[in-house]
Structure 1
Amino acid sequence: MNRMKTTLTALVILLYNIIVYSQVNVEWIQMFNGIVNAADRANSVTVDVLGNVYVTGQSVGDGTNYDYATVKYNSAGIQQWAVRYNGPGNRIDKSNSIVVDDSGNVYVTGSSRGNGTLDDYATIKYNTLGVEQWVARYNGPESYDDFATSIAIDGFSNVYVTGISLGLSSDACATIKYNSEGAQQWVKRYNSQKINTEIKYFISIDNSGYIYVTGSIDDSGNLLDYATIKYNSSGTQQWVAKYNGPERYSDIVTAHVLDDSANVYVTGYSRSIFTDYDYATVKFNSSGIQQWVSRYNSPGSNNDFAASIALDGLGNVFVTGSSPGPGTKSDYTTIKYNLTGVQQWIQKYDRSANSYDYANSLATDGSGNVYVTGYSFISGTSDDYATIKYNPSGVLQWFQTYNGSGNKEDQANSIAVDSTGNVYVTGLSIGSVSNYDYATIKYIQSPNTPNDLSATAVSASTIELVWIETSKNEIGFKVERSTNADTNWLSIDSVAQNIVTYTDTNLSGNKVYYYRIYAYNTAGNSDYSNVALDTTFNPVGIILGEGPIPANYSLNQNYPNPFNPSTKISWRSPVSSYVSLKVFDVLGNEIATLVDEYKPVGNYEVEFSTKGGQAAGSHQLSSGVYYYQLKAGEFVQTKKLILMK
């Protein structure tokens, strides 16, 4: 029986819809409505190692226009704090990017209207309680608009931000380093003849402390090209790597990501005269040398806009965005490339033939599964969140939509996945009695199937089970037992999360028992593990006639082990043969001969005791390690036993 749902099932549960291939539940939905019930828009979400969730964006304040608004939830979805920042200009302040350090300090950056200036960078550090530690502002040299779009931290709690800095003479990508106290260490400006204020720049730090900034730059009058700039920790430029598409059109970066070897992967859209805009994904190595370019042009050569990029642990690259399909409107279009840039698969999501589907964000988990979120609507209706999971082969695992209480506009902007496979999505949603609100959702998935279940008989009444845990999100494991492998499965017990052993006792001797297990949580059950079996020992010695004929020779581990003063040793003989079973010390000296005779086919058990002179040569055995060896025909096997007095 398969405990996972394998047919496509539509469920309507409160305000969200679920199409289930594998099992997933909404763990919680949390709304954040600002202090004046006006527009609140979440832009970014992240999660820490404890499962706390952080969301940042902008929220209209009481007489303050938009303010930064950053919210922390614990793993149960209970709001821990919400903090606001109103810049000195008392105008529009928008937080665009968030990061959390290992101590739970929170850093956000974005744009904030100054007092006597236009928009400035504004970067803020909060401690784990949400108390503001410092604010660092940056106004470019010509006091024009400055929009920070991305933030990163290094292992020393230095903070790096990048974004757009406009001026009369030239525009620039401006990158800033602050120390852990918020003191500016340096500013590096890379000039561009033309920057659209809708462009974003992205920043990452490698394991050696080098900084990588990527965006679209025009430094030669050839319109905008992809450009990645590498700086050292002192702000010295190391190299600039560029990509100019096949035609003389602008190439727009929408995301970048860095791997553990400091290779940089950049995606966005690049126009060709015959195909309009295409996905264009580029890999540069740590020296800035282009390794490959992969472009995607949809059937019909319409506009294709890549929006997000992520990697898995094997170096595969995943890109998502929006692209029309044959006879459809805009669809989610997600592509997997291998480490050399060769396309592995492409998957489209079209909610219906008349729907418009726009993917905004992508994430991967430790198993190489891919998660995509954005929004979907049918002409004449409002937007809904739409979140999808694919397995590493590109097979759809589940799909969820979220329609807010106002049955109006709902747009997911950002997605994150934690180490246990929980999925977090945030964005904006119009409530039934409110304006735009933050809407943050946590999805919990059913556990993965436990692997490699084994069963080992250790006595006439006991079998021990061992398996490999493949998830960290299970509540526990259920153990089932049968005596015929096909029917009459009984649930005999459960064990807690992270426990991977079970001892089944009070069994009958000389009998075959079959076992299987599954993991479970509030989202559902995993598939069953493999079936494992073993035969309990004969309580008197030779087993003939009742149990199955052994298929192979096998020597079992003695039980108990360690022992004092006696232990039992069992073995199986598939054919009749002369059998020798002896005990040796660590120097190879023979201590005891337990069996030395011809034995017919069967299962056997003997007792080795250190009492009553059984130890050959009247040895007085001390605590320590000993070995027992079975020889039967050409079969020889040795195992260790431990005497502990």
Structure 2
Amino acid sequence: MRSVKISLLVFIFSITISAQWEWQHPIPPGNGLVSVKFVNETTGFAVGDESIVLKTTDSGNTWVRKDVGYFSYLKDVEFINENTGWILDFYGKILKTTDTGDSWFIISDLEDGSYWDMFFINSTIGWVAGYESIYKTTDGGLNWSQQFWNSDYDIRSLFFLSEQTGWAIASDLFVNPTIILRTTNGGLYWEGYPQSNIPDLQTIFFTNSSIGFAAGTDGLISGDEGYIWKTTNSGITWNNNFTGKRYYDIKFVDSQTGYTVGVDILKTTNAGTSWSNVLQDADVASISLIGQNYGWTVGGAGSILKTTNAGQDWIRISDGDHYHLNSVDFANRYCGIAVSLGGKIIHTTNGGQNWELSAYIPSSWHLYSVTFPDSQNAWTSGHYGVIYHSSDGGNNWTLQNSGVSIPLRSIYFINADTGWVAGNTGIMLKTINGGQNWFQLNTGTTGWLHTIFFLDENYGWAAGSYSTIIKTTDGGLSWQPLTVPGVQFFNSVYFLNESIGWLADGASGGAASIFKTTDGGTNWTEQLQIQSQSYNFNDIFFKNTNYGWAVGSGGDIWYSTNGGNNWSLNEVDFYNGLKSIAHCETDELWIAGSYELILYSINGGIPVELISFTAEFLESKLELNWTTATETNNSGFEINRKKLEVRSQEAEWETIGFVPGFGTTTEPKSYSFIDEKITTGIYKYRLKQIDFDGSFEYLPIGQAGSNEIEVEVDFTPKKFVLFQNYPNPFNPNTVIRFEIPGQARNDNMLVTLKVYDVLGNEVATLVNEEKQVGIYEVEFSVGHPALRDSPDMATGIYFYQLRAGQFTETKKMLMLK
């Protein structure tokens, strides 16, 4: 007999291995870029807003995103060779790479403040400048010492000719708009030269110890002028070298040839005696030069330009025309539309593989919402009360007469005829003829309505500022106010049916929250709260009573697999603000956000969702069973096991098998594995899920995060047992199995196992020795060496007998030739 104890026999849980979200649009990304650095003619880097890091290895023609692991605003990137580089973020974190920018890690975190520029002269010595301070490192960025401090100064730009000689640009917040700082001893002492005639400087560059250039703006928020200044006495005095538009960066290839970039791109070939405008309206912020011919510039909204002929021509790799998307909707898995700030509309007819400009309506200022109920008809609403309609899938748009001029923040159609639009001051309009006519509804509220949702022609909800939430059961003719605890600013409402729905809240009262109702909105329960003054949940969607998603600030994609009772974050490597979720008839999802970002997932970013894991004992074997709800890029599961004699014992994991996965699927899949090699003891098992690219993770179990299960197996026999031989009949081999019980553990009990013929003659002695408690198997064959008279046996019936103390048992077996 045997007994088996299985701890945690059945587990029901949900788990995300990695975030399977594809960056669909734009490529390259549209995040604002503020710094670019090339190390040679092919390899370069650019950094900017919302932790964007781009790398190119083909001279800037294509760019790949690199992850820094957190949300921030990156201000500068520096490389001293192909392998070693640094990134400075606005808050003083220093990141470093030693593998050509493929991976980045934080090596230092300066004091809280604002930081603008960084300069490395070699692999060990560098400086960082920001509000009030200049810091220096002599060990490659691991440690920093403060070299300069002035509470009235904001220091924005650095340049060093050598380890000893350098300059910095500072602005005095109260007295002088510009101060030039200069050091000749590596930063131990900085001499200040106030420049009362220079309103603003953004960048500085020296070609030798005497001659330098600086560029900036007119210092006015609403101004558009810019200046280039030159010094011939090491920065003590400066003369206006050129007057034009705003400039943000200046670089020289040699003592004669240099570029200044900003609104326009200027070039000089005579040390600044004259400047020529080589590209108007470039709107870039940083430039990197390699030799006389190659140059790259980057700027707002992901703008990237390149020259290969010394600035005569500029190739626009990315146009920088990327606005923040407010809303996205799909009529089916192929046809989608997204709308943005600035009145831009883009659309796709192939599931987002390509997004094309559909319309640009700057007079609308902002478009806030889009609804796409079928493949032909779509509507968008925006500022100034505008409503636009497309009857050809988003190719062309016609202005409809809303009759109002206040912002309309949310629009929703249930079919080609019936729709609603809502906005500021509680305004709500309805149409029953596709928007040809709109009539106003009485909502009973003056709160701003940010979101509306209708299940059908009757049931609908709207929500917005100051905990405003209202419900209708007659298509909007009358509205019932609902109550949610606290003061909330709702950005999204979604209902599955007349009873079950959710609300997503922006940062109000220092927290952002998700609420759920199961009675149509009469009562609400808070399911998730993020303590923050600036965090927002912007949209929420559930595909059924279990699976739902919410998006928010900093690239956060939240998901739930149990109706919102628990929420987890997708592990993503992008940090754009996310505004809107779109779905279709399949499990595919799209998310739209800042800088025109559109993400895509085949199943909502849950590549391997494990919903059950069981262990079952079968005779002397253990069967593991598990089920997945969805999978993406799943190569399969490696089964790991370790055996312990006691629970406190340490043991090594061993791989005992592999079960192939189903690749990508949104259907539940079941798996099993049988562990045949088990004996009495304590076993632990875990699943190692492996993607096709080789990445893997050990599946954690439930909310506790454990990634192993425990099974205790006890094969200790409780009585003497002699089993029937197998196979029977046999030729030439058979196995005889028997058990010695626990009470014999300390007895010097002689155990014999003998074979007899039908006349009672002993044929063979298979066992004749003392045995401890346990389960034993003995193989017997026609040519067994224990056969007494002859190694050959005749066909017929034989008997095998087990004797142990007072126990005796005999069984019959048949040998056939």
TM-score (norm 1): 0.48
Larger radius of gyration: 2
Q: Which protein has the bigger strand share? A: 1
